[in-house]
């Protein structure tokens, strides 16, 4: 179940979910964004821009009370990657007028995804996704290339490339000796099967015995992540979490984020670990 939280110091709204955090600051600020559909080749040309370089200019003018929008691609990004004699002659069109559309009865929003923290539910140790609401879509549009000689050459090249066969026959003049030799099974497949077999052998033990192992472990250290507890008890993750929810607390933030500790009524630590 998701829970809603408000950080008054930063004036941000956050939803805590099983997959991570959803920052709703964009909704509070009523940030409006445009949803624009662009040709595939245009997005490919944008990807060639270095760092946060300029990819083009957007021009918005009023004509008889109606907004006219157009995009002009930078001259440096018009070169198309292709081989052959046409490589130097084919250029991407620069001018792209917008066809404006209404949002209609839909409610659309734009989110971005960032890694944040570490999740107990991810056995690979990867970070969960932190979603940030950038804003609500207030305008839809379609970016279309203006019909020009560059556009016709580009379309001709795309048609020629799509008509080429995927596989070609080639006559070899000498035997190929640089390829990999076939093996009965790859190393990573063997390791995966071995790990899968070992995990499959883990059967649920006696609950009291598992509790004794957990209490013994927590007497030595106050905080454990789920992976370490699985190694200690040799129990399936699902069964282990069922027991931990009865006797422990899962820390979702702070210095010991993504670790388990005992509930106050069960705590008994040795030595200096109590100070943690």
With a threshold of 0.75, does the pTM exceed it? no
Average pLDDT, the chain: 77
Report the pLDDT value the prediction gives residue 244, as an integer from 0 to 100: 93
Hey, what long-range contacts does 7-13 have (CB within 8 A, 24 or more apart)? none
Measured on CA atoms in the order 46, 52, 55, 58, is the torsion positive or negative?
Answer: positive
The pLDDT score that the predictor gives to residue 14 is: 44
Q: Given pLDDT bands bounded at 50, 70 and 90, which one contains residue 118? A: very low
Q: How confident is the model at residue 1 (pLDDT cuts 50, 70, 90)?
A: very low
Give the mean model confidence (pLDDT) for residues 177-205: 73
How far is Cα 230 from Cα 246, in angstroms, rounded to an integer? 16
For 191-200, write each residue's pLDDT tens digit: 877 776 766 6
Give pLDDT, residue 242: 92
**What residues does each domain of the chain span?**
22-113+130-162, 204-266
Range with lowest mean pLDDT among 119-123, 133-137, 210-214: 119-123
The pair of three-digit structure tokens given for residue 203, joined into one six-digit string:
């059967």
Q: Is the domain 204-266 a CATH 1.10.10.10 member? A: yes
How would residue 4 be classed by pLDDT, with cut points 50, 70 and 90? very low
pLDDT digits (tens, 9 = 90+) for 152-179: 888 888 888 788 887 888 888 887 777 6
Question: What pLDDT digit, counting tens, does each position of 12-67 carry?
Answer: 444 444 455 677 765 666 778 889 999 888 888 888 888 777 889 999 998 888 88
Mean pLDDT over residues 113-126, rounded? 54
pLDDT at 87: 54
Top-confidence range, 14-28, 123-137, 181-195: 181-195
CB 261, CB 147: distance < 8 Å: no
Is there a contact between 141 and 101 (Cβ–Cβ < 8 Å)?
Answer: yes
Q: Give the model confidence (pLDDT) of 217-260 as tens digits.
A: 998 899 999 999 988 998 888 889 999 999 999 998 888 999 99
């Amino acid at each position: 179940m998701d829970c809603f939280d408000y950080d008054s110091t930063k004036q941000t709204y956050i939803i805590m979910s099983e997959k991570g955090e959803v920052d709703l600051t964009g909704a509070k600020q009523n940030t409006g964004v445009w949803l624009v559909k662009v040709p595939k080749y245009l997005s490919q040309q944008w990807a060639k821009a270095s760092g946060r370089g300029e990819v083009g200019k957007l021009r918005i003018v009023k004509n008889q009370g109606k907004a006219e929008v157009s995009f002009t691609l930078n001259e440096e990004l018009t070169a198309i990657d292709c081989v052959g004699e046409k490589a130097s002659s084919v250029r991407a069109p620069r001018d792209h007028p917008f066809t404006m559309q209404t949002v209609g009865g839909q409610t659309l929003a734009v989110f971005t995804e960032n890694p944040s923290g570490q999740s107990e539910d991810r056995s690979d140790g990867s970070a969960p996704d932190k979603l940030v609401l950038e804003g609500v879509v207030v305008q839809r549009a379609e970016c279309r290339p203006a019909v020009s000689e560059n556009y016709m050459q580009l379309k001709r090249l795309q048609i020629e490339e799509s008509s080429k066969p995927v596989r070609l026959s080639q006559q070899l003049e000498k035997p190929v000796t640089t390829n990999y030799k076939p093996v009965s099974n790859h190393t990573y497949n063997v390791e995966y099967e071995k790990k899968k077999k070992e995990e499959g052998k883990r059967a649920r033990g006696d609950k009291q015995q598992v509790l004794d192992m957990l209490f013994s472990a927590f007497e030595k250290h106050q905080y454990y992540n789920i992976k370490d507890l699985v190694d200690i008890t040799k129990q399936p993750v699902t069964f282990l979490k069922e027991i931990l929810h009865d006797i422990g607390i899962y820390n979702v933030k702070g210095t010991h984020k993504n670790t388990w500790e005992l509930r106050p009524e069960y705590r008994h630590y040795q030595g200096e670990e109590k100070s943690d």
